[in-house]
Amino acid sequence: MEEVLRAENISKSFPGVLAVDNVSLSLGHGEILALVGENGAGKSTLTQILGGAQRPDSGRIILEGKTVSFNSPADAIRAGISMVFQELSLVGSLSVAENIFANRQPVGRLNNVQWKALYQEAQDFLSRFDLDLDPRILVKRLSMGQQQILEILKAISTHPKVLILDEPTSSLTENEIAYLFQNIRKLQEQGMSFIYITHKLSEIFQIASRVIVMRDGKYIASRNVSEVSENDLVSMMVGRQITNLYGAAVEKPLGAERLRVESLSRKGVFQDINFQLRAGEILGFAGLVGAGRTEVARAIFGIDRKDSGKIYLNGNEIQISKPEDAIKRRIAYLTEDRKGWGLFLGMTVRENLIAPSLKRFASRMDFLNQKLVNEYAEKQIEIYSIQTASILKKVLHLSGGNQQKCLVAMWMGIQPEVVIFDEPTRGVDVGARAEIYKTLREFANAGVGIILISSDLPELIGMCDRILVMHQGRIKGEVQRKDFSEELILSYAAGLEETQHA
Amino acid sequence: MERVSRFFRSTVAGPLVAFLVVATFASLATPRFLQPQNLSNVSLQVATVAVVSIGATLVILTGGIDLSPGSTVALVTCTLAILVKNMGLPLPVGILLVLLLGVACGFVNGFFSTYGRIPSFIVTLATMSIYRGLAFLITKGTPIFSVSPALEPLFYGKLLGIPLPFYYVVILYALGSLFLRNTVQGRAIYAVGGNESAARLTGIAVNRSKLLAFVVAGLTAAIGGVLLTAWLNSGSPNYGAELGLQSIAAAVIGGASLVGGYGSMIATLVGALTVAVVQNGLNLLAVPASWQEITLGIVIVAAVGLDMWKSSIGRAFSKLFRQT
């Protein structure tokens, strides 16, 4: 097969991470190449480099025999590489036609937009893809799936030699996926080449001819799809040793039921979530990004409303309609979005530590007792070994690990009975991770019920007593500690179990 | 009834209804409102606000905001008065120079809020103060009267019995509308305000588009300033204080979204007319200035509210008619 695109020794680092480590790949004319790996394996960074959205630190990109270098996605598009980004890049206030032909509308002699020609061209283009869509309608009126299809068509309309698709099916229905695949095959026959990133391994076998596996920023393997199984791919993706960073799991009898959730649903987000959490238990939630884990946690904590379902705390049904209710019941939620939702970055360590439990330090006139506050803050930074020059330092200036410890200390102040940790170690260095794990275990041993949401499988396997795996808004599987394996969890998370049984 | 609910969903519905309500009120309250003499007065009163609002709309479409046009107007009136009266330059030269001054004011706003990465609210808050300060500086705080006898015909002149400012407004809005609707650069302004990263990904020069909007805003503020100088045949650092907020009001009454991406020239014109009619109607009724301000505030909230709630109003309408 004639080669259309070659990447040689691409590397890219961000502060603290080597996101892509000396990766090379080659793409043939009319080939559909799948790119897989766990979250953080470097797939997205690599494709952003190919698509001009990032510049590599080193390495070469060769398109049809010529070395190219892109300063922006627009450069890459002109050269013949289009990328469909995960976040939608459509303008809601403009029409379908204007979005497809953004910045290259048909124009007259005075650089005036020729509307009739624009709509006609858009109509022709859409009907070539059998899409029954009014080109005059505003994009904000389309469904998520329609928008995602439109986004892909917009990229196709630039007649790229190479089209990069990053999780293109994440918000498509089964019919829309079938439609997309059909059109990808049609374009492939016409000679277009594709790089296809996906978490849904089953899609690879439907659409791709070759697959490349990445892990920790490195190129691991390239295989013809006909020569691998899904299980092969999973073990290549995982391929890591589990260390004892997580401390020894103490065999302990679990206590009484702390939290029970019955048929919790939120339309279009998660359905029929049932689970029980016992005192002293660490219950893991595994799943891919977008599987609905965080959303379940947010609903339990009262950030988002739920459509139906019941929540019981220590055997009694409780009503939670806002976070305040949850805090009063001593349920804590430590958000995955530490900087956006979790901490008051511009405020001091002291102000952050007391934030969820202000009332404890207030006099009857609602004045804060400064002496109490200072003592408490000093005590917390010692217990949670937060490394800061003083309690008056702004949280902004702490390292990621110390920020996370600060978030933990802040919520432990409400003396919770149930704690939901959402990605507690994302962006946290190994030393601070070990301390966070230690804290988690101590709390579990003291009888707190802990839910641990994580995309880091070794972390879940190292820490949890039991793991629930979510896939597309549902709990797809439950794995007991004795059965823990990354392969099993990943296959539930990819929704594979279902296809095997079917 | 489909047509009724579709009307409520269209973009000019809110501003148009608000305008009609205000105009109906005015004509019911005083018979003088609809007399030709008064309508010609309205067209004089609306001219300055309307012209300044063109620039305000462009800036708001890109997702920015310009608080400074009132001060640009003041600076322009003073500069024009000094150039023509004190320095004796011919009027056309003076006008050309102050239009360039307006472009420069707009460029400064645009440059700092794009390449300088300072939010446009802050930049124009600062220049609002700076430009007016400059106007005080060059006049030492005293207004300059009787600038030039050649000025007044520019404003009070008539063509076919209709005051000249009417033509200025129509021509400038036609140009603005053509630019926004029918040029690639005009559509780029919508794209930048609608989704900046999407615009960048499609190769639109985002900063240049925003800068252009501010430069045009400076230019239209300067034109407004020239009109005001001609209207009053004087320049003063105190002129135009309300124009900044009124131009924003005209745009938002016209349905422009401060987030960017939504709005049109015609809708802004309707908005500017609404502002002018409120003031004119209340003037005719000899309502004190304090109540005029309060009423204008209520009209802004009502007009924008109507726009925000129009889809639910439209739904309620269609439900009502389906039941009967």
- Which tens digits make up the pLDDT trace of B28-46? 888 888 888 888 888 888 9
| Partners of residue B174 in chain A, C-beta under 8 Å | none
How far is the alpha carbon of A103 from chain B, nearest alpha carbon, in Å? Answer: 6
In a domain, B150, yes or no: yes
Residue span of the structural domain in which B248 resides: 12-24+36-318
Q: Are A457 and A485 in contact (CB under 8 A)?
A: no
In this structure, the answer to whether residues A158 and A227 fall within a common structural domain is: yes
Cβ contacts of A497-502, under 8 Å, gap ≥ 24: A499/A202
In this structure, the answer to whether residues A440 and A333 fall within a common structural domain is: yes
In a domain, B6, yes or no: no
State residue B222's pLDDT score: 96
Closest CA to A497 of A289, A201, A227, A270: A201
Q: Across the interface, which of B183, B194, B201 has its CB nearest the CB of A94?
A: B194
User: CB B261 to CB A113 under 8 A?
Assistant: no
State residue A501's pLDDT score: 40
State residue A164's pLDDT score: 94
Percentage above 90 pLDDT, chain B: 48
Q: Please, is B220 exposed, middle or buried when counting C-beta atoms within 10 Å of its C-beta (0-12, 13-18, 19+)? A: buried
Question: CA nearest B205 in A: which residue?
Answer: A103
In this structure, the answer to whether residues A342 and A426 fall within a common structural domain is: yes
Q: Which residue has the tokens 């987000």?
A: A269
In a domain, B7, yes or no: no
In a domain, A106, yes or no: no
| Partners of residue B199 in chain A, C-beta under 8 Å | 91, 102-103
Q: What is the pTM of this model?
A: 0.73
User: CB A92 to CB B261 under 8 A?
Assistant: yes
State residue A497's pLDDT score: 59
Residue A222 makes CB contacts below 8 A (sequence gap 6+) with: A25, A210, A211, A212, A213
In this structure, the answer to whether residues A286 and A196 fall within a common structural domain is: no
Look at residue A343 and give its three-state secondary structure.
coil
In this structure, the answer to whether residues A174 and A320 fall within a common structural domain is: no
In this structure, the answer to whether residues A167 and A291 fall within a common structural domain is: no
In a domain, A477, yes or no: yes
Q: Which of residues 98-117 of A touch B (CB under 8 A)?
A: 98, 102-103, 105, 107, 110-113, 115
Q: Across the interface, which of A93, A112, A115 has its CB nearest the CB of B261?
A: A93
User: CB A113 to CB B187 under 8 A?
Assistant: yes
Mean pLDDT of chain B: 88
Q: Please tell me which residue, A51 or B311, carries the higher pLDDT value.
A: A51
In a domain, A470, yes or no: yes
**CA A421/CA A283 separation, integer angstroms:** 10
How far is the alpha carbon of B51 from chain A, nearest alpha carbon, in Å? Answer: 23
In this structure, the answer to whether residues A273 and A144 fall within a common structural domain is: no
| Partners of residue B184 in chain A, C-beta under 8 Å | 103, 105, 107, 111, 113
Q: Does A178 contact chain B (CB < 8 Å)?
A: no
**For range B155-160, the mean pLDDT:** 85
Closest CA to A403 of A453, A353, A442: A353
Q: What is the radius of gyration, based on Cα positions, of chain A?
A: 25
How far is the alpha carbon of A50 from chain B, nearest alpha carbon, in Å? Answer: 14
Which CATH number belongs to the domain containing residue A341 in this structure?
Answer: 3.40.50.300
* End-to-end C-alpha distance for chain B, whole angstroms: 11
**Best to test chain A binding among B10, B195, B200, B206 (most A CBs inside 10 Å):** B195
State residue B130's pLDDT score: 97
Q: Across the interface, which of B185, B188, B203 has its CB nearest the CB of A77?
A: B203
In a domain, A418, yes or no: yes
How far is the alpha carbon of A93 from chain B, nearest alpha carbon, in Å? Answer: 6
Report residue A81 as tokens. 């590489």
Q: Are B142 and B112 in contact (CB under 8 A)?
A: no
Question: CA nearest B183 in A: which residue?
Answer: A112
Number of domains forming the structure of chain B: 1
In a domain, A162, yes or no: yes
Count residue pairs from A and B with Cβ separation < 8 A: 74
Strand order in the sheet with A218-224: A81-84, A162-166, A193-197, A32-36, A210-215, A218-224
In a domain, B198, yes or no: yes
| ipTM summary value | 0.76
Q: Are B144 and B86 in contact (CB under 8 A)?
A: yes
- Is a pLDDT exceeding 50 seen at residue B190? yes
How far is the alpha carbon of A156 from chain B, nearest alpha carbon, in Å? Answer: 13
DSSP A466: E
Which CATH number belongs to the domain containing residue B183 in this structure?
Answer: 1.10.3470
In a domain, B191, yes or no: yes
**Best to test chain A binding among B62, B202, B207, B258 (most A CBs inside 10 Å):** B202
Q: How open is the CA angle A365-A369-A373, to the nearest 5 degrees?
A: 140
Residue span of the structural domain in which A83 resides: 3-93+138-238
- Is a pLDDT exceeding 90 seen at residue B133? yes
Q: Are A212 and A34 in contact (CB under 8 A)?
A: yes
In this structure, the answer to whether residues A189 and A324 fall within a common structural domain is: no
In this structure, the answer to whether residues A229 and A273 fall within a common structural domain is: no
Secondary structure E strands in chain B:
144-145, 158-159, 162-163, 234-235
Q: Does A70 contact chain B (CB < 8 Å)?
A: no
Look at residue A315 and give its three-state secondary structure.
coil
In this structure, the answer to whether residues A292 and A144 fall within a common structural domain is: no
Residue B102 makes CB contacts below 8 A (sequence gap 6+) with: B72, B76, B218, B219, B220, B221, B222, B223, B225
**Residue ranges in chain A modelled with pLDDT below 50:** 241-243, 498-502
B68 alpha-carbon distance from chain centroid: 12
User: CB A91 to CB B188 under 8 A?
Assistant: no
User: CB A93 to CB B193 under 8 A?
Assistant: yes
In this structure, the answer to whether residues A222 and A167 fall within a common structural domain is: yes
In a domain, B1, yes or no: no
Cα–Cα separations (whole angstroms), residue A248 to A103, A381, A419, A441? 59, 25, 21, 9
Give whichever of A249-253, A325-329, B74-78, B256-260 has the largest mean pLDDT: B74-78
Q: Does B195 contact chain A (CB < 8 Å)?
A: yes
Look at residue A148 and give its three-state secondary structure.
helix
User: CB A98 to CB B195 under 8 A?
Assistant: no
Residue A91 makes CB contacts below 8 A (sequence gap 6+) with: A98, A99, A102, A139, B190, B191, B194, B195, B198, B199, B261
Look at residue A399 and give its three-state secondary structure.
coil
In this structure, the answer to whether residues A34 and A175 fall within a common structural domain is: yes
**Best to test chain B binding among A103, A107, A110 (most B CBs inside 10 Å):** A103
Q: Which residue has the tokens 């238990």?
A: A281
User: CB A103 to CB B198 under 8 A?
Assistant: no
pLDDT band at B122 (very low <50, low <70, confident <90, very high): very high
Residue A288 makes CB contacts below 8 A (sequence gap 6+) with: A39, A199, A455, A471, A493, A494
Number of domains forming the structure of chain A: 2
Report residue B323 as tokens. 């039941």
- Is a pLDDT exceeding 90 seen at residue B131? yes
